[in-house]
């Protein structure tokens, strides 16, 4: 979009948001939902009851918002994205301040309309959009001990004096060869390429457009093939979830109904992080995959072994950029954002103070100095979109993934051997039966309890991260 088109685009999006909101909050819809709820025979059907429950939730949340606010948010966030792009390019946070203040003020109004849950805080109203039923206090109770132990782990790794050889990851491999390798990996992990595809974009994503149409994208760097590999595995995890939801070939014809949708961003993220990190960064994965690279990359990795690859892709090194962070430090980046947006929303911190508070936390939590706003508080697009309450779901995804993984390894004792042979069908089927097929039937916390027999904690993730650090760094 040309820069000069931004203002008109914002007006267009505002109008579309207004029209959609008016239609979605028609009183007739509420009457129909109420009629369903009052029909005991109808509600005895679990599938129908789940759909009605979710229709009610969505309708009630929408009707709490005045159309004028919905329109203002759509218009403002569209404008904010353009201002953010320019501010980020110039590393000039001050130029973004007025717009970000407006975004947070409108978001506060939205949260106030939703209402603060009993005993909760304003942040909970927004978090509920992305992780239904979760509260800031619950997340803090998980994050706080995790933060302390991660900080200690990072310090032990830094003091170990060991530095895995990562030079083999810099092998020059053309994009077309990486793409062919990625396609092979997708087939191996049972992503259905007749019902999806892999393409190239500037930022990887997954879109489940319709039954039989799940789109994955990745990006290629000739000088570091693992960026695309892990980006592909990550998005494929999302894609397998989309393909496994009830809408995918469901005899019940559930497409378009809430039951055919993912329950939360945290659960969705658990699937992507599981395939990316727990599968793709394992020693067993490279025992299988490394010999196959000869077919696709020639001798580019001839000096590598499964063990050296395992060590290279599991380094722990504090850095500035969240999306480039390693598995061991990634969650610290998320926690910084959770703390800051929570403070900004409550009003205990001013938007103008964001760079100072951001930089302080990066120094305290990760030991790194932030040189400029571009690599600091302007690096993420989320706040310009108004996605406040979104960031915690990234770490929730890691927590769910690790806890699910421990249960999977108990229930599939031969899993390591299967991965080492490139056999992923039983793992995919376990995920489909335990998670994917349920859609929105269960809330995320209930799903976790049903699968693992206990509520979500930080323990499994720390066992995983500390185990890999011991393997790679001896600490």
Q: Which residues belong to the active site? A: 235
Q: What is the CA radius of gyration of the chain?
A: 23
Collapsing DSSP states into helix, strand and coil, what is residue 56? Answer: helix
First to last CA, the chain: 50
Q: Which of 256, 267, 254, 268 has its CA nearest to residue 46?
A: 254
Pairing of strands 206-210, 213-218: antiparallel
- Give the whole-angstrom CA distance, residue 376 versus residue 170: 26
- Give the whole-angstrom CA distance, residue 296 versus residue 181: 6
Scan for tokens 């060869």, then name that residue. Answer: 177
- Give the whole-angstrom CA distance, residue 48 versus residue 280: 38
**Contact indicator for 365, 153 with CB cutoff of 8 Å:** no
Handedness of CA 33, 38, 42, 46 (dihedral sign): positive
For the beta carbon of residue 245, count every other beta carbon within 10 angstroms.
25
For the beta carbon of residue 61, count every other beta carbon within 10 angstroms.
16
Q: Which of 247, 189, 181 has its CA nearest to residue 213?
A: 247
- Give the whole-angstrom CA distance, residue 143 versus residue 395: 9
Collapsing DSSP states into helix, strand and coil, what is residue 217? Answer: strand
Q: Which of 346, 331, 344, 348 has its CA nearest to residue 377?
A: 344
Collapsing DSSP states into helix, strand and coil, what is residue 200? Answer: strand
């Amino acid at each position: 979009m040309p820069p000069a088109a931004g203002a008109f685009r914002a007006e267009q999006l505002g109008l579309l948001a207004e029209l959609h909101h008016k239609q979605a909050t028609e009183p007739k819809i509420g009457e129909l939902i109420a009629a369903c709820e009052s029909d005991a025979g109808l509600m005895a059907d679990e599938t129908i009851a789940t759909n009605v429950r979710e229709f009610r939730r969505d309708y009630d949340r929408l009707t709490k918002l005045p159309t004028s606010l919905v329109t203002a948010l759509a218009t403002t966030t569209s404008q904010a994205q353009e201002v953010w792009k320019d501010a980020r390019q110039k590393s000039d946070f001050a130029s973004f301040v007025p717009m970000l203040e407006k975004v947070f003020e409108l978001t506060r109004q939205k949260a106030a309309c939703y209402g603060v849950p009993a005993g909760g805080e304003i942040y909970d109203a927004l978090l509920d959009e992305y992780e239904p039923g979760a509260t800031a206090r619950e997340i803090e109770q998980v994050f706080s001990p995790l933060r302390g132990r991660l900080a200690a782990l990072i310090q032990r790794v830094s003091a170990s004096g060991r530095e895995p050889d990562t030079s083999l990851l810099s092998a020059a491999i053309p994009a077309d060869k990486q793409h062919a390798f990625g396609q092979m990996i997708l087939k191996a992990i049972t992503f259905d390429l007749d019902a999806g595809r892999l393409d190239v974009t500037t930022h990887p994503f997954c879109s489940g457009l319709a039954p039989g149409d799940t789109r994955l994208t990745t990006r290629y760097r000739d000088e570091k093939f693992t960026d695309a590999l892990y980006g592909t595995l990550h998005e494929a995890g999302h894609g397998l979830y989309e393909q496994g939801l009830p809408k995918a070939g469901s005899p019940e014809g559930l497409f378009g109904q809430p039951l055919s949708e993912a329950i939360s961003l945290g659960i969705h993220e658990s699937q992507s992080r599981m395939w990316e990190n727990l599968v793709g960064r394992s020693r067993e994965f490279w025992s299988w995959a490394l010999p196959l690279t000869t077919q696709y990359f020639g001798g580019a990795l001839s000096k590598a072994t499964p063990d050296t690859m395992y060590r290279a892709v599991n380094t722990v090194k504090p850095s500035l950029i969240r999306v480039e962070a390693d598995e061991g430090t990634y969650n610290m980046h998320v926690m910084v954002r959770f703390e800051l947006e929570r403070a900004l929303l409550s009003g205990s911190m001013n938007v103008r103070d964001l760079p100072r508070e951001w930089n302080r936390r990066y120094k305290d939590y990760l030991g790194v100095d932030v040189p400029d706003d571009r690599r600091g508080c302007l690096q993420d697009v989320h706040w310009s979109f108004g996605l406040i309450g979104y960031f915690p779901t990234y770490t929730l995804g890691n927590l769910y993934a690790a806890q699910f993984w421990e249960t999977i390894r108990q229930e599939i004792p031969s899993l390591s051997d299967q991965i080492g042979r490139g056999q992923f069908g039983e793992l995919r089927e376990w995920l489909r039966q335990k998670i994917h097929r349920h859609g929105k039937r269960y809330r995320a916390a209930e799903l976790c309890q049903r699968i693992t027999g206990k509520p979500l904690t930080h323990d499994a993730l720390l066992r995983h991260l500390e185990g890999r650090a011991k393997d790679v760094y001896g600490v």
